[in-house]
Chain A
Amino acid sequence: MGVMSAIGDTVAANRTALMAATCGISRLQMFPSRFAGLMPFGEIKTSTQTLKKKWNTHEPGITRTMLLALAAFEEALTDSRLTTAQIQSPRTALIGASTVGGMCLTDELYHDANKTEDGSEYLSSYDCASVTLFLQERHKMHGIVNTINTACSSSANAILYGARLIRNGIARRAIVGGADSLAKFTINGFNALHILSPEICKPFDQNRKGLNLGEGAAFLVLEKGEDVIGKKIYAELTGFGNSNDAYHPSSLSDQGDGPYLSMKEALIAANLVATDIGFINAHGTGTENNDEVESKAMVRLFNEPPPFASTKSNIGHTLGAAGAIEAVYSILNLEHQEVYAGLNFTQPIPATGLQPVQAWKPMPLKHVMSNSFGFGGNCTSLIFSKV
């Protein structure tokens, strides 16, 4: 596994920060935006130039999103101990996810799209696929390569797509994940929808005021059980569900059919019942709409939901990276038999009265569910199980 977020640039650093209830959401320092002084973001305080130097990427067209992805990807590769031959094998798939891609370069994109001057170095770097293609090219990968964009559930879907390639015998192993960086495009888009919080987000709190956007990346290496004998196995992906809420382009239905169905399908796929789930890493963005609908859907499925919390209070909403980062966090829950605090919670939502976990604590866990719900009604739930 590899992860980079506002609370750390390795898996170990992220775990330490989660245990200490660290909040990485703060005022913008790295890029100029009218919103810099107005609202907080889960920004990674390392400049794009520093990242380029660190990873020795001096070719033209490199974007911040590519660099965040690279950091997480390299950590995951090192951790997996895959050989170069295995990485380059036609049987190794690479599935990436992003919603912003290279659109973090607002000014460059503006000039190129409106042809105001000669083309910039970024002409092939704006789309979401550019991030995955950068990783593929750098490692000369020859298997199935794909990029998924289902808004905020993108990298959760990258994980389930990689797992299905392996189950169907199309790939022997899959490197799956996602990356997004902060961009004026998403900041202004979410602001226009009035769902950005002027203060640090409070997932599942009655007085929540919206979400904080964040940035980051995570990648995971999925292998078949018979291929990992003698290797460290973090967890097994036992179930996944993907469902569409089919209600509204940018909000969830009151009854939460999409979230309910994705969680239910994941349980069925994992051959588990609701009471088997020990902890839920909730989508929990901190918006009025999401947290209430997700709470109701949890009650509808679980009756009395298991302990849950949202790590978006630590790192913000990292959009296309969120599903993969939270998959890593869910796996840390299982590996270390512990749960992390949902921050800034004081009062429950009246409709459900649910309270997230509010302090780090050890907890015996066999199965952890991770939720990712996105615009366009795209809902995905994953279940990771202790091996």
Chain B
Amino acid sequence: MLYIHRATCISPQQTFPEVDMERLQPSADNKLKAIEPTYDGIPPGILRRMGKAVRIGVGAALPLLHHEPAPHGIIIGTSNGGMEDCIKFLNQIIEYEEGMLTPGNFVQSTPNAIASQISLLSNNKTYNITHVHRGLAFENALIDAFMQAKEHPAQHYLVGAVDEISTYNYNIDFLGGWYKKEPISNLDLYTTDSPGSIAGEGSAMFWTNSHPAAALARLQAIDILHTGNEEMVQQRIQRFLSKHLQPKEKIDLLITGENGDNRLLKYYTAAEATVGAKIPVARYKHMCGEYPTAVAVAFWMACHALQHPLPQHVFKHAGVQQRFNKILIYNNYRGVQHSLMLVVKA
């Protein structure tokens, strides 16, 4: 079992350092950009050299590292890392025809720069890893932390996810048909019947271990699947719930990754049908947009929902219930990378 004790989230909404999700921040140009804090903990000289992905990752991680003891591992999921720096460097290669280049962008662009900067700034020489499996990068990081906590029950682990919107990945994914062509607002994300979503970015960090005392949440189980078949997804959800819940035990909230892409709606409809019509359904991508590790926001929101009420705008179907104890998160990325997480009250 993995227990979550502290959680931070830098997102396009007011989630860091104080949380106020009631007032929904609007998107601009089909993008939801992270609201960046002032980063008091990062030395200015180092901060200047950081790209946004590294900045929001380190910025969300450092407050969790101010507490003793130091973590025994830093486990990060990111699909692209510092994409802006990566293409800046690539552009230099093309534009200067492989001339004399400065290495700054190259070094900052490697996806492991986030985890390694966290280690460097906190002088942490323990386990350090970066999972980059696109839409399942965060889930794999969580599985890693889940195993670490089991392997080393006395230790603590920092696990988190980061991805940024850069002009470049926006262009690539726009050309790929993953963002809407027509301008929309995040307030209308779920009512536009067209392909594509809106772009987003953010980071979420979690302090985890195997101790239940005073924990915010417990990650009961996690599963991932690659398929383009919604029946297979349904079967997997059924099997997952029957394996990890007692007979007659039910979840009391489903959080889905519905993202306004009408090609993917069938998976979310299938997930809702599988858990049953009476279960309240919440969504989150109108707050953070779509990106490969957006599901980390759902995980952060689940930890939050076990302690605090959720704002009304997240509910697709609300029930009478205001407090939740057993939350299932179902997310999919581009209709092929699916994940299930059961997050329960510790």
Number of A residues contacting the other chain (C-beta, 8 Å)? Answer: 69
Residues from chain A with Cβ under 8 Å of B130 in the complex: 148-150, 378
Q: Would A147 and B80 count as touching, CB distance under 8 A?
A: no
A146 in contact with B136 (CB, 8 Å) = yes
Given contacts A142-B227, A243-B127, contact A374 B107 (CB under 8 A): no
Contacts of B123 in A (CB 8 A): 246
Nearest neighbor of A168 in chain B, beta-carbon distance = B147
Looking at A69-77, A129-137, A204-212, A225-233, the stretch in contact with chain B turns out to be A129-137
State A376–B108 Cα separation when bound (angstroms). 10
Q: B90, A242: Cβ atoms under 8 Å?
A: no
- From B92, B128, B129, B224, give the contact of A144 (CB < 8 A): B224
Whether A147 pairs with B133 at a CB distance below 8 angstroms is yes
Interchain Cβ contacts under 8 Å between A and B, 11 examples: A144-B140, A157-B129, A167-B151, A170-B143, A188-B101, A192-B100, A244-B127, A249-B108, A249-B117, A375-B110, A377-B116
Q: When chains A and B are docked, how far (Å) is the Cα of A55 from the Cα of B90?
A: 30
Q: Which of A22-30, A108-116, A307-315 contacts B (4 or more CB under 8 A)?
A: A108-116
Q: Which 4 A-B pairs have the closest CB atoms?
A: A376-B116, A119-B175, A189-B106, A113-B168
Q: Which residues of A contact B245 (CB under 8 A)?
A: none
Interface centre among A118, A145, A244 (most CB of B within 10 A): A244
The 8 Å CB contact of A184, one of B80, B93, B136, is B93
- CB pair A142 B136 closer than 8 Å: no
Q: Which of B122, B150, B227 has the most CB of A within 10 A?
A: B150
Knowing A146-B133, A375-B112, say if A112 contacts B175 (CB, 8 Å): yes
Q: Is the interface of A mostly helix, strand, loop or mixed?
A: mixed
Contact among A33, A118, A157, A170 for B98, CB-based, below 8 A? A33
CB neighbours of B286 from chain A (8 A): none
A54 at the interface (CB under 8 A from B): no
CB atoms of B147 and A170 under 8 A apart: yes
Q: Is the CB of A246 within 8 A of B120?
A: yes
Among residues of B, the one whose C-beta sits closest to the C-beta of A258 is: B125
Which of A2-10, A120-128, A356-364 touches B?
A120-128
Tell whether, in the assembled complex, residue A244 and residue B91 are in contact, meaning their CB atoms are under 8 Å apart: no
Given A114-B91, A115-B171, A145-B224, the answer on whether A124 and B176 have CB atoms closer than 8 Å is yes
Is A109 within 8 A of B90, CB to CB?
A: yes
Known: A127-B80, A378-B116. A193 touches B103 (CB 8 A): yes
Which of A149, A151, A187, A377 is the one whose CB lies under 8 Å from B120? A377
Choose from B94, B168, B226 the contact partner of A133 (Cβ within 8 Å): B226
Which of A151, A261, A374 neighbours the largest number of chain B CB atoms within 10 Å of its CB?
A151
Taking a contact as CB atoms closer than 8 A, the residue among A103, A114, A146, A258 that contacts B131 in the complex is A146
Q: Considering the chains assembled together, what is the distance between the CA atoms of A106 and B91 in angstroms?
A: 9
Tell whether B87 is near chain A: CB-to-CB under 8 Å. Answer: yes
Contacts of A188 in B (CB 8 A): 89, 92-93, 98, 101, 106
Complex-state Cα separation, A187 to B101, whole angstroms: 11
Q: Are the C-beta atoms of B110 and A147 separated by less than 8 Å?
A: no
A119 touching B168 by the CB < 8 A rule? no
Q: Is A257 an interface residue (CB 8 A)?
A: yes
Please tell me if the beta carbons of A149 and B112 are within 8 angstroms of each other in the complex: yes
